[in-house]
Amino acid sequence: MSLATTKPSTDLAVIGRMEEHDHEEVLFCYDKPTGLRAIIAIHNTTLGPSLGGTRMWPYASERDALTDVLRLSRGMTYKSALAGLDLGGGKAVIIGDARTQKSEALFRRFGQFVDSLNGRYITAEDVGITTADIKTVRQTTKYAAGLPEADGGSGDPSPVTAYGVFMGMKAAAKQAYGSDDLSGRTVAIQGAGHVGENLVALLVKDGAKVLLTDIHQDKLEAIAAKHPVTLIAPEAIYDVDMDIYSPCALGATVNDDTLSRLKCSVIAGAANNQLANEHVHGEAVMKKGILYAPDFLINAGGIINCFSELNGYDRAKALEQTRGIYDTALACFKRSAAENIPTYKAANEQAEQRLSMARKAGKRF
């Protein structure tokens, strides 16, 4: 497989991988003068144009980059479908080190590739990409969202993401404990980052007892200076007594090792891909009697915020729409209980149902 083409690849191995999860289009982007090597994957545009961030990462190989962009773009289709947005799923990856390989020319060229898709893909921020980078991309395409607030954009989506996670957590509490009141509940948050910090504030206000960990002590101390939280060591989070485990750092923290240690009745956090293996660990959490709030359902506040920018940004409206995560999550838990299936499966079914209804009504894009 080569990236030395601006046309969709005719490599049958790539098409085979697209067939696996039903991707519509993959664009390989290469530009020698700027050193740009990127892949844009459009998974599904049944509900509308595909929207998903661009990730800049020093992938070990083009194959790794392709695997990531195919997986991430598919996830966006489900996330937007569940959030009730008229958006499809897409994602882009730029192969490179975000600390050393960024340039204005590279992002301007990347914007031209995005533009060549005529709005079938709209880009935004993801790992390694800042609102300032999106501003540069916007110089060559209008199909980019997530501009700084000072430029009329939706800015940092983290407060809205945290609000959605909070509402999803409340819905999980309602299902697990019969009440969505979190006062007196012990919530252990992994990750004192952008989402983690905002979530701490919401939980403390609701009367929850918050345990917090991070690998950076300074971040923990900054939050502890503002809120009554109990700080714990990074590895201790899997062994403490808690009601709710809230992963807000990395993916795959629900795995063979941690599952036997986790003492919680609910898992609800912002991190993407919390289950190391969706099928294996999705089943296992259910068998253990833990209610898992699917990450792609409850962390949709960020995409809701971004979508709002496309129609003239209004944060109050974005928050109102994000509040809907509560009802969607509750419907997912009820379906899971009624059909005796893991919650991730119930969420996927909900998304598939919306996609199938839209297909029957006639594809828009």
Contact residues toward ligand NAD (CB under 6 A) are 157-158, 161, 190-196, 213-216, 219, 234, 248-250, 270-272, 299, 302
- Helix (H), strand (E), coil (C) string for 210-246: EEEECCCHHHHHHHHCCCCEEECCHHHHHCCECCEEE
Closer by beta carbon to ligand NAD, 9 or else 322: 322
Task: Tell me whether residue 91 is one of the annotated catalytic residues.
Answer: yes
Rounded distance between C-alpha atoms, residue 296 and residue 348, angstroms = 10
What is the 3-state composition of the chain as percent helix, strand, coil, each rounded to the nearest 5?
A: 45, 15, 35
Mention every residue, 6+ apart, whose C-beta is less than 8 A from residue 6: 27, 28, 29, 30, 113, 116
Closer by beta carbon to ligand NAD, 28 or else 307: 307
Neighbours of 217 (CB within 10 A): 10
Closer by beta carbon to ligand NAD, 46 or else 198: 198
- Of the candidates 7, 79, 91, 219, the residue annotated as catalytic is 91
Closest residue by beta carbon to ligand NAD? 193
At 259, list the tokens: 């599952």
Tokens 């359902």 belong to residue: 297
Min dist CB 289 to ligand NAD, Å, is 25
Query: Which helix (H) or strand (E) segment is 93 a member of?
Result: strand 88-95
At 193, list the tokens: 């980052």
- Residue 54: phi and psi, rounded to 5, are -105, 130
Closer by beta carbon to ligand NAD, 17 or else 71: 71
- DSSP for 268-308, please give it: --S-S--BSSHHHHHHHHHHTT-EE--HHHHTTHHHHHHHH
Mention every residue, 6+ apart, whose C-beta is less than 8 A from residue 12: none
Closer by beta carbon to ligand NAD, 36 or else 270: 270
Rounded distance between C-alpha atoms, residue 176 and residue 290, angstroms = 9
Min dist CB 158 to ligand NAD, Å, is 4
Min dist CB 318 to ligand NAD, Å, is 12
Tokens 């019969």 belong to residue: 178
Kindly tell me the burial class for residue 356, based on how many C-beta atoms sit within 10 Å of its own C-beta (0-12, 13-18, 19 or more). exposed
Min dist CB 68 to ligand NAD, Å, is 13
Our measurement of the distance from residue 173's CA atom to the centroid of its chain's CA atoms, rounded to an integer in Å, reads 22
Closer by beta carbon to ligand NAD, 89 or else 157: 157
Give the CA dihedral 210, 211, 212, 217, nearest 10 degrees. Answer: 120
Closer by beta carbon to ligand NAD, 196 or else 282: 196
At 161, list the tokens: 């993401």
Catalytic residues: 91
